[in-house]
Amino acid sequence: MNNALQGIVAKHEAERNLLSLLKEAQDKYGYLSEELVIELAESLDIPVGEVYGVGSFYSFLSTKPLGQNVIRICKSIPCYLKNYQTIVEAVEGELGIKPGGTTKDGKFSLELTNCIGACDQAPATMINDKLYVDLTPRKILDILKRL
């Protein structure tokens, strides 16, 4: 196991907090690959299923490759009432990917997500850790261009 991963494991080993460990591993390596999951399980001496179980449970963790920028467009009812689909269509048109996909250059992934708590400023989207609200098709395209 390489040094960086060993470092992450060592940091979280005392508390045995799988979730914190996996978040940090994803930050470092981009996503939780099968190899990574197996290595972590071996290093912590716990079943692979336990590591994979946490890694596959949370929507902000991914066992598939992710782009540098993860776009999460809210599709819950308040954003639906404010036409989130127009935002989705704008992004699909601009990036050439559908929800669940990643651009070939690895720059963007697109996902649909459930309520992110910005319903008074719908439609809303997260890109990585940042929140973007009161969106229009033009606004989201401007935002993407600046990334």
Q: Which residues bind other proteins (CB under 8 A)?
A: 15-21, 23, 53-54, 57-61, 76-78, 80-81, 113-122, 126, 129-131
Angle between helix 48-55 and 34-44 (nearest 10): 130
Alpha-carbon distance of 133 to 4, in angstroms, equals 36
Return the closest-CA partner of residue 74 out of 12, 132, 33. Answer: 132
Instruction: Give the residue with the Cβ less far from other proteins, 7 or 93.
Output: 7
Of 61 and 141, the one with the shorter C-beta distance to other proteins is 61
Q: Which is nearer to other proteins, 96 or 136 (CB)?
A: 136
Reading the block at residue 65, the tokens are: 């490759």
Contact status, residue 126 vs residue 67, Cβ threshold 8 Å: no
Nearest approach, Cβ of residue 34 and other proteins (Å): 19
Q: Least distance to other proteins from the beta carbon of 132, Å?
A: 10
Q: In angstroms, what is the minimal distance from the CB of 99 to other proteins?
A: 13
